[in-house]
Structure 1
Amino acid sequence: MSVIIPTFNRADWISGCIDSVLNQTMQPDEIIVVDDGSDDKTAELLKQYPTVKTHFQKNKGPSSARNLGAEKATGEWLAFLDSDDQWTPEKLQKQHDYLCQNPTLKVVYTDEIWIRNGRRVNQKKKHQKHGGSIYRHCLPLCIISPSSILIEKKLFFNLGCFDENLPACEDYDLWLRLALREKIGFLDEPLIVKNGGHVDQLSRQWGLDKYRVIALEKILDDPDLQGENRHKTLLEVIKRCQILILGYTKHGNLEEANKFKQKITRWQSEIDCRI
């Protein structure tokens, strides 16, 4: 089992992240940190962990960092962990036990504890997690945190890894491809701590729906997407386009708004033909 931690200028968080792995009741075979071009004290802090395998690259984004870590991994299973998150001590042990009890599964994720600006907050109903065939649950939002997943390495590469062309929503994109093809195990226990509210989080930015539209259009090009799953995906891509049209119109960017109007015309025509 290989743990992969991508990081970029997270000197305030990286030690707590690594310590949460070192405190696991079941230790992984290796811990790999990919420093994605940090210019803070990250490299200096990493020297305090001689057993951690560190790789440095010029800044290319989290997808590239995670993929590089996966390429370097020697384990048959990959556990990703964002550098501003932590694991509870039994996270890996419980996932290992779950997979032993469900040997046909190739992936399992867990529930989460959310911390925002230092305070614990409750997840909303829309963030409810699911196991099994969860493709339709993955359409409205990204319900799987990268920090919670344990996935067979062979499957990860067969899926095509994280899309390095996406600066955001790369996890949403990968989980759509995963959920379309595989049943996904879910441990209904909060085994990771997700820290949010800091200013460098991409999830705080407006306009991320444009990357969700890219992910949805990619999956619509997949020949395995058929029937009701395809219909639900068409409805979702239209919904996301409508949100972007409102936003771009409000900000006076009519050129971008028109691009998404054209997309709606294209995908609505497919729905109309299916009726």
Structure 2
Amino acid sequence: MSLLTISIVIPVYNGGASFRECLASLTLSRRPADEVIVVSDGDTDGSWQVAEAFGTKVFRLQRPGGPAQARNIGAQAAQGDIVFFIDADVTLHPNTLDLVEQQFRQHPQLDALIGSYDDAPGANNFLSQYKNLFHHYTHQVSSEIASTFWGACGAIRRSVFLQVGGFDETYRKPCIEDIELGYRLTRAGYSIALCKEIQVKHLKQWEPLSLIKAEIFYRALPWTTLILRERCANADLNLSHSNRFSVVFAFALIGSVAASGLYPWLLAIALGLSLGLLVMNAEIYRFFYRKRGLLFALQVIPWHWFYFLYGGAAFAYGTLIHIISRVYSSKPVGRLGCF
């Protein structure tokens, strides 16, 4: 059996303590990486020196250009058959690389794969636990045939990556450059698998403002632009049919409550909509109950409904801008929110 080599590529910008944990986890891997490439994206905290101390191959950029550019630089320099992209704020499990290699060996036709966050996030505050567990749940219940890529835990044959042109470097922030790459891969006929047993631990600590900013400006708005441009809204991951119906129910609930002062009977409608949201999302609330208990699950519900509201509002706004752009200009709509 021929040797299958794996190159890990990590973009980093001021990685701090999480980046040290990330690199330390690589030394505990049962299957060592054939090379580790760190691309220092104009960091100012000495992350590149930390990477050098761990013996990685380091490329330093003088100014931040975004993770898309950094990953491309790392992949172009890589020597491995497989390029495994991870973020600077995740840690690998001891068996992660074993499982990556196993998938590509057992499935020679496989072009790329993505994994999942595990169910034990590194940060302990409620919002970090909720967000990272939500991400874990979404990947664990989704189809194993994926249409998007994922830069935090995603592996791809280097030849395929170079053939499709890598990540789109016009995305200058941690945005949806991985999702866009996945769409291009799928459109070109390449296969992407969601391998649920391949997991990494996310160390990021989310706070209310950082979470909402990231989800609206770096996810929802640019993703809306991409969906409308590509005319592709597969019922995959966060775009499931239940999520779409939940957005409608959440807005109808807010409208019913707001108008109930004039029409008190709307409170009955609001109650029905609330029950509908609970039923449609009962499985995820049971998941949080099993993982963190009743009090945590009850705390999740308002945040989850708020997620439907701001996600739906961002999609509506992005769609409106797209329509206006199409009406008043022959030029395609630009990307929203990720510069």
Q: Distance in 2 between matches of 1:6 and 1:169?
A: 15
More strand by share: 1
Q: Distance in 2 between matches of 1:207 and 1:7?
A: 20
Residue 74 in 1 paired to residue 79 in 2? Answer: yes
Residue 94 in 1 paired to residue 99 in 2? Answer: yes
Residue 186 in 1 paired to residue 256 in 2? Answer: no
Q: 2:58 pairs with 35, 44, 54, which one?
A: 54
Residue 243 in 1 paired to residue 309 in 2? Answer: no
Decide whether the 8 Å contact of 1:4 with 1:31 is kept in 2. yes
Equivalent residue for 1:118?
124
Equivalent residue for 2:221?
210
**Cα offset, 1:195, TM superposition:** 2.5
**Cα offset, 1:40, TM superposition:** 1.1
Aligned partner letter, 1:173 = E
Work out the percentage of aligned pairs sharing the same amino acid.
20
After TM superposition, list the pairs within 5 Å mapping 1:226-237 onto structure 2.
Answer: none
Aligned partner letter, 1:18 = L
Decide whether the 8 Å contact of 2:31 with 2:97 is kept in 1. yes
Residue 22 in 1 paired to residue 27 in 2? Answer: yes
Equivalent residue for 1:174?
181
Q: Distance in 2 between matches of 1:187 and 1:206?
A: 27
SS in 2 for 1:66: helix
Aligned partner letter, 1:117 = A
Q: 2:158 pairs with 153, 159, 169, which one?
A: 153
**Cα offset, 1:265, TM superposition:** 7.1
Q: Distance in 2 between matches of 1:185 and 1:42?
A: 32
Greater CA radius of gyration, 1 or 2? 2
Structure 2: 5+ residue stretches without partners: 1-5, 249-309, 329-339
SS in 2 for 1:12: helix
**Cα offset, 1:81, TM superposition:** 1.0
Equivalent residue for 2:144?
131
Q: Decide whether aligned partners of structure 1 residues 8 and 243 sit closer, same or farther in structure 2, where only a CA change above 3 A counts.
A: same
Q: 2:70 pairs with 65, 88, 97, which one?
A: 65
Stretch moving more, 64-73 or 157-166: 157-166
Aligned partner letter, 2:313 = I
**Cα offset, 1:16, TM superposition:** 0.8
**Cα offset, 1:160, TM superposition:** 2.0
- For normalisation by structure 2, the TM-score amounts to 0.61
SS in 1 for 2:203: strand
Q: 1:262 pairs with 315, 324, 330, which one?
A: 324
Decide whether the 8 Å contact of 1:26 with 1:92 is kept in 2. yes
Q: Decide whether aligned partners of structure 1 residues 260 and 106 sit closer, same or farther in structure 2, where only a CA change above 3 A counts.
A: closer
Residue 104 in 1 paired to residue 109 in 2? Answer: yes
Q: Decide whether aligned partners of structure 1 residues 190 and 153 sit closer, same or farther in structure 2, where only a CA change above 3 A counts.
A: closer
Equivalent residue for 1:251?
none
More helix by share: 2
**Cα offset, 1:193, TM superposition:** 0.9
Decide whether the 8 Å contact of 1:106 with 1:155 is kept in 2. yes
Q: Distance in 1 between matches of 2:224 and 2:319?
A: 13
Q: Distance in 1 between matches of 2:124 and 2:91?
A: 14
Equivalent residue for 2:253?
none
Aligned partner letter, 2:324 = Q
- For normalisation by structure 1, the TM-score amounts to 0.73
Q: Distance in 2 between matches of 1:86 and 1:149?
A: 13
Q: Decide whether aligned partners of structure 1 residues 116 and 241 sit closer, same or farther in structure 2, where only a CA change above 3 A counts.
A: closer
SS in 1 for 2:113: strand
**Cα offset, 1:54, TM superposition:** 0.5
Once the two structures are superposed, what CA deviation does each residue of 1:22-49 show, in whole Å capped at 9, x if it has no partner? 2211112110000000111313323322
Aligned residue-pair number: 238
Residue 2 in 1 paired to residue 7 in 2? Answer: yes
Structure 1: 5+ residue stretches without partners: 139-143, 248-255, 267-275
Q: Decide whether aligned partners of structure 1 residues 257 and 148 sit closer, same or farther in structure 2, where only a CA change above 3 A counts.
A: closer
Decide whether the 8 Å contact of 2:150 with 2:179 is kept in 1. no
Residue 44 in 1 paired to residue 49 in 2? Answer: yes
SS in 2 for 1:189: strand
Q: Distance in 1 between matches of 2:91 and 2:323?
A: 41
